[in-house]
Chains A and B, each alone.
Chain A
Amino acid sequence: MNTPKNRNRRPEWLAGIFLTVALAAPAALQAEPVVKDGDLPMPLIERFENFGAKDGIPTHKVHAVYKTRDGHLWIGTWDGLCVREADGKFKRYGPEDGLSHKMVLCITEDPTTGDLWVATMRGLNKFSGGKFTQYTQTNSGLPNNVVYGCDVLDDMVVVATAAGAGILNLKTGQWRIFDHTNSLMHEPWCYAVKGAKDLIYWGIWGAGVLEYDFKKNTWKEYRDPDRDFHYDLVPDDGLINDITSWLSWEDGILWQNTYFGFTRYDGKKFKTWVQDQSPLLSNFTQIVWPHRRVAWIGMDKGVSVTDGEVWVNYEVGTDGEGIRTIHRPGAQPEKTVMNTALANRFVLGIYVDDEEAWFATSDGLSRGVYANPNPYKRLPGIAAAP
């Protein structure tokens, strides 16, 4: 934040960092201390379990992770779609099994039918009852083959592609597609999509977030008010940046990832974070998984978890150790060295539920094991799972 106003604040900020480090040093020396997490609004991860080639994952790069309602864990990798079987090994599905392309970017589930929808670099796939059905730009109304994101909302599958947004009506088979020619979209490069009751949010590269009311067929645009690509001139005035790298929505709250910070929008107010003015690990945020109004944010330097007030960060140390830091408002950060760490600090995908957290990284898959089972049950103020 190199605005004049921010430059004036830097000495205080730097002093805060030094003070924090000084106070936290003794804690950092203590390995695996007992952490009092009962007051935290989110579960605390006590250790990571990592999975890779030895477990049957065909490649080091894992893009997406998703646990279906029947308890199966699915991952999308650079080289196919995989499911974790009862013996803990991953079974791979590739183009030879009917998947339209080996590079899987996003996975979601139809909560009613259990059909898995799989976005790839060449088309959208439905995996249902063991059978793939391909939807490509040549055999269907899909706007473009490069499908970055997908979601299921009622009878609709919604997609974000490199050349526009799409809605497939599962009952009629009709596609509706949107781009810069028939919506508020400034350009058609859509990176993410999420259904939100009567609304659909699309994250647009360079054009912020578009909100589509599919019952009224109306659009609303959310942009960075200062329109500056590199700096957020006025905090909390709107989206932090127009380059939306991912977004998600849960329980009335929209979360936006950008490569220049992170945004929360509750329908009335915006809140933005950047790395040098908050505990956010990095401005380069690329995935968010909200669960019970807590955002799990994946970025190039690890994972930040926050409800907007309290933060817990998970980093990978220089020697491969895990570093967990708890940031409570008005308190000194509590830093802990963990014996285990994320498989890689570059986090591309996240899945979180009440039992565990999963992280897709650029060098393997990680499972975060909670320090306390069923952590949310101790926190009466947290929204119930949908």
Chain B
Amino acid sequence: MKSRGFIITSLASVVAAGGLGVGGYYWSVAHVQRWTGMDHLGFVNCNHCHLVRVEKLPWAKERPRHPAPAGLAVSPDGRRLYIALDDVNEVAEADTATLQVNRRIKLAGGPYGLLAHPQDGRLFVTLRHADAVVELEPGRLTEVARIPVGKGPVCLAYTRTEAGERLIVANSLSDDASLLSLSPLAEIARPHTGREPFATAMSADGSVAFVVGRIAETKDFVTPAASELTLIRAATGRVLKRVPLESAHLAEGLATVASRGWALTPLVKVRNLIPITQVANGWVMSSGLGITLADGQTVQVPLDEANDYFADPSGIAVDPAGRYAYVVSGGSDAVSVVDLERLSDWLSKACELTRREAVDDLSLSAEYVVARLRTGRNPRAVTLSPDGRRLFVGERLADRVLVVDTATREPVGHVVLGDGGAWDPIRRGESVFTKAAHTFQSQFSCRSCHPDGHVDGLAYDFDGDGIGDNLLDNRSLHGLASTAPFKWIGSNPSVEVQCGPRFARVLMRTDPIPPDDLKDLATYLQSLPPTGWERRRDLALTPTQERGRQLFFATTRPDGTPIPRERQCQTCHRPPLFTARIPTAVGTRGPRDATELFDTPHLLGIGYSAPYLHDGRAKTLEELWTTYQTNDLHGVSSYWSKHQLNDLIEYLKTL
């Protein structure tokens, strides 16, 4: 009897469990259909919309920190080298003779850009995450003054004008520059610059400040994008000229040549309007040097050689005599030494047409690149001693500063700051991310299109689905953890697949990233927080933002009419990641698109990732609803007033 009862109970349990399972399945399918309004979805589980906790995500957890060198500065007497260590919130001081670190002081807020006052050695530091500039007394490196500036300050330069001493600060996240007076330390002006200003320099006579943006700005699908070099009167902050650097982006360095009146800008020559097939011909991305002449004319010349590229040019330094420029290539671990006299000779002989086409002639660099110096991993910042005899190169992912004798062009040694972090998979992944060796002829790295993991603001034409079809906006990699699938059509279930063999074929045009490196790369990418997350996370909403939040989560119109669930913002952009990770049709299919279903992007940091939609057609958040929504498919917006739209956008910027 006992065994019979057991059998009956077991059978009943199996039937009940089966019933629950089948019933649960049909309920869940109906639940998904009811919420999304779609019945043709593939696999969807509870995790798409539920059970996600931000604090469990990789980017929200504490990660290992590394003493990676950011900005560099040398004291006026040349005896001390200062190194900003943004990741560990420190500034280091090293002896340039012994190459030993004398001390490291704590400075919260992500110290990034450094400048030593040319006379008294006062140290000025930009705090990238605290939106401030601090002044340190040079003896003890104690803070004596602090001033708020724009968002994300990363670089600063000094000059003395007829109106007093000035600092110009590049504010990378607010797309402007802060012009500061030193006596007293005060902000005089904050003119707008190009997008994501990342480097500054002063003219030889001190009258003009130069600021260059590292993200190119686009007009439409047929006009090459251009980065902006902004010329500002150093005494007053008046904007003098905005020089477009055509087809140039990732301009992260800037130097002036006193003897020639030049401004030099290392840049990535990007040709996103041609199909990616042209990677095989070297036509999509190459490295160059922008030379802005005294008359404002700009000539771009290559830094690469045929079949040998030097990806991601970043920092630049020019010796006091104006003879040599040193350009570091973060993707290729090299410093290119440019003979400016030879470059000037070539320029004097080049006709207008030759100058215009120069950057496409990779044989040209032999005319003026006289040496390539090898460095450790991912050189980014570079500076020279005041006498020009020592070159200091920050090897960011090696936690070292390379010191080079400029006379012999031989390494003298290293200032060692850390162990390079090879034990840390995130650090190893960042190394993969920044390494150009994974692309055909080392033309570019992941970082070339995703500076610091973010966007470059460009749309690309991947030819696998037809040349000229399915243009794709470059998406930010910030905050991507747990937002699979990837790709705008949502066909890649993981980062490993997204960046795997297929990617090597369609983009990198070389061997796939080895499995171990790919795993590290995925770990690194998932460790990237949404842009500006730290500065926003604890801020209370303003009344405007709160009104926008209520609009985002609205379930009815003001007259009480229900908004269909599948058209409520929160359904597809479900918190906390603000994506349900389900491809959705929101009426944005263009004439050259193969599908109307597009992946639902997460909205974390969306205020910083323009342009928008799968092909980047919406230049601003407003355009999503004012220009590219006519049918209430991308949220029900037809009842919104201008007030409500503005409120919503202010809320979206808080995510």
Contact = CB atoms under 8 A, between A and B. Distances in A.
A114 B238 contact: yes
Interface in B171-223: 174, 176, 188-192
A323 B623 CA distance: 53
Nearest to A181: B643
Contacts of B641: 181
A138 B191 CA distance: 24
A4 interface: no
B494 interface: no
Most interface-central of A129, A138, A164, A171 (chain B CB within 10 A)? A129
Nearest to B219: A98
A113 B236 CA distance: 8
Given A138-B627, A141-B649, A177-B642, A113 B238 contact: yes
A278 interface: no
B189 A113 contact: yes
A126 B193 CA distance: 12
Contacts of A130: 241-242
A171 B150 contact: yes
A369 to B, nearest CB: 28
A179 B649 CA distance: 19
Contacts of B622: 138-141
A137 B174 CA distance: 22
Given A139-B622, A139-B623, A140-B622, A129 B241 contact: yes
| Contact-size category for A | 20 to 34
A170 B643 contact: no
Contacts of B456: none
A170 B649 contact: no
B281 to A, nearest CB: 33
Interface string B230-256: 110100111111101000000000000
A112 B188 contact: yes
B239 A129 contact: yes
A15 B239 CA distance: 58
A285 to B, nearest CB: 31
A112 B233 CA distance: 10
A316 to B, nearest CB: 38
A113 B239 contact: yes
Contacts, number: 80
B231 A139 contact: no
Given A113-B191, A170-B192, A141 B646 contact: yes
B620 interface: yes
A174 interface: yes
B178 to A, nearest CB: 10
Contacts of B620: 139-140
- The DSSP consensus for interface residues of chain A is loop
A174 B650 contact: yes
Contacts of A140: 620, 622
Nearest to B242: A129
Nearest to B239: A129
Contacts of A139: 619-620, 622-623, 626-627
A182 interface: yes
Interface string B618-654: 0110110011000000000000011101100110000
A130 B619 CA distance: 21
Interface in A168-224: 170-171, 173-177, 179, 181-182
A311 B410 CA distance: 80
Contacts of A155: 190
A215 to B, nearest CB: 16
Contacts of A113: 189, 191-192, 237-239
A147 B138 CA distance: 52
Contacts of B231: 129
Identify which of B192, B241, B244 gathers the most chain A CB atoms within 10 Å of its CB: B192
- The majority secondary structure among interface residues of chain B is mixed
Contacts of B649: 141
A96 interface: no
Contacts of A138: 622-623, 626-627
B244 to A, nearest CB: 8
Contacts of B643: 177, 179, 181-182
A170 B233 CA distance: 19
A328 interface: no
A181 B240 CA distance: 41
Contacts of B646: 141, 175-177
Contacts of A173: 174
B242 A128 contact: yes
Interface in B52-89: none
A171 B190 contact: yes
A175 B540 CA distance: 19
A115 interface: yes
B242 A131 contact: yes
Contact of A129 (B230, B544, B627): B230
A296 B244 CA distance: 41
- Chain A CB within 10 Å — which of B191, B642, B645, B646 has the most? B642
Contacts of B544: 174, 176
Contacts of B233: 114
B240 A129 contact: yes
Interface in B115-134: none
Nearest to A175: B646
A70 interface: yes
Interface in B603-626: 619-620, 622-623, 626
Given A141-B646, A177-B643, A112 B236 contact: yes
A367 B583 CA distance: 63
A143 interface: yes
Contacts of A126: 192
Interface string B390-409: 00000000000000000000
Nearest to B641: A181
A113 B168 CA distance: 14
A316 B230 CA distance: 46
Nearest to A141: B646
Interface string B254-268: 000000000000000
Nearest to B628: A138
Nearest to B192: A128
Contacts of B176: 171
Which of A113, A128, A130, A137 has the most CB atoms of chain B within a 10 A radius of its CB?
A: A113
A163 B228 CA distance: 34
B243 to A, nearest CB: 8
Nearest to A171: B190
A39 to B, nearest CB: 38
Contact of B626 (A114, A133, A137, A143): A137
B630 to A, nearest CB: 12
Contacts of B191: 112-113, 115, 128
A171 B191 CA distance: 9
A209 B429 CA distance: 61
B293 to A, nearest CB: 16
A141 B652 CA distance: 14
A124 to B, nearest CB: 14
A114 B627 contact: no
A170 B190 contact: yes
A131 B620 CA distance: 19
Interface in A271-315: none
A257 B189 CA distance: 33
Contacts of B239: 113-115, 128-129
Contacts of B241: 129-130
Contacts of B189: 112-113
Contacts of B645: 141
Given A129-B239, A130-B241, A174-B650, 13 more contacts: A112-B237, A112-B238, A113-B237, A128-B192, A129-B230, A129-B241, A129-B242, A139-B619, A143-B642, A171-B174, A176-B544, A176-B646, A177-B642
8 contacts: A128-B192, A129-B239, A129-B240, A129-B242, A130-B241, A130-B242, A155-B190, A182-B643
Question: 4 shortest A-B CB distances, which residue pairs?
Answer: A129-B242, A138-B626, A114-B238, A113-B191
Interface of A: 70, 112-115, 126, 128-131, 133, 137-141, 143-144, 155, 163-164, 170-171, 173-177, 179, 181-182
